[in-house]
Structure 1
Amino acid sequence: MDIQALKLDLVTKILKTEKSSLLIQIEKLFEKENDQDWWDQLPDEVQQSILEGVENIKQREMYSHDQIVREAKQKYGF
């Protein structure tokens, strides 16, 4: 069945059904399909920064919380 025939078949079934629960499920499918992924909504520079961070973790190029606090105390004197 090609895409146009499938669409026509689905429209026919939708028009014939009296099951509101089925129509609600179909509506939810379309809503879910139209929702954008949050990742795609992030600016490119934020995506790049996150990807760099993930790569750093894979390469074990990261700092512990204690290291960051110790360096901040030394640098800023608090």
Structure 2
Amino acid sequence: MDSNSKKYKTNEKLPSVEEETVLYQSKTDLETENQDDFWDELPEQVKQLIEIGLKQSEQGLGKSHSQVMAEIKKKYNLT
């Protein structure tokens, strides 16, 4: 299916969509589609740090959000 056909089919369906989450996601997708990739705007040092973090995560060297939150709750006696 070519791009124009996809646009036409999408435009046909949108008026009948009533779910707020679908409409919001469609709006968000359209807004971000035309934005430049922020990666190109990042300083080289920041890119390198992000790449290091991703490699560490792939190697299992990081902690999950739930692990960190459990440690914080324990350390500060939070429930």
TM-score, structure 1 as length reference? 0.43
TM-score, structure 2 as length reference? 0.43
